[in-house]
Amino acid sequence: MTKQIWLNLPVKEVAKSKAFFSKIGFSFNEEHDTPSSTCMVVGEGKFVVMLFEESLFASFSQNKLTDTQSSSEVLISIDAESIAEVDELARKIKEAGGNVFAPPAESQGWMYGCGFADLDGHRWNVLFMDFSKLS
């Protein structure tokens, strides 16, 4: 049976993407770094997101890459521990050169979050969920 799952994302420049994600608080397992890829580790569960330069990614997927400026193939969601953490992450994203396309706000009375695009246009969703307010 499957033991692990990870996400692979195409990026224009691995070094710039690594710098961006480092600035917003993500970490990396540098044992797996190559000149055209890096291994990002997300959260306590250590979910792996591999960042591959576009040409290498395209060779794996054997498919045309999505134009992230005009379409989305996936929305990557991550949790936050508090409203303050969502606000802080949104600030860091802006400072690091990302695009906060949905500013931090309450949703449905029990969630607080924001949406952002990384340097390559991949869309991310950050949510703090207060299940005590869920009706």
When pLDDT is cut at 50, 70 and 90, the band that residue 19 belongs to is very high
Residues 6+ apart with CB under 8 A from 59: none
- pLDDT tens across 80-111, in order? 999 999 999 999 999 999 999 999 999 999 99
Q: Are 92 and 24 in contact (CB under 8 A)?
A: yes
pLDDT at 111: 96
C-alpha dist (Å) from residue 76 to 30, 42, 112: 22, 11, 16
In order of 23, 34, 40, 67, 102, the CA distances from 29 in angstroms are 16, 11, 6, 28, 30
- Please determine, for residue 135, whether its predicted confidence score (pLDDT) is greater than 80: no
- Do 51 and 9 touch, CB atoms closer than 8 A? yes
pLDDT at 134: 83
Tens digit of each residue's pLDDT (9 = 90 or more) over 20-78: 999 999 999 999 899 999 999 999 889 999 999 999 999 999 999 999 999 998 999 99
H or E stretch covering 87: helix 83-95
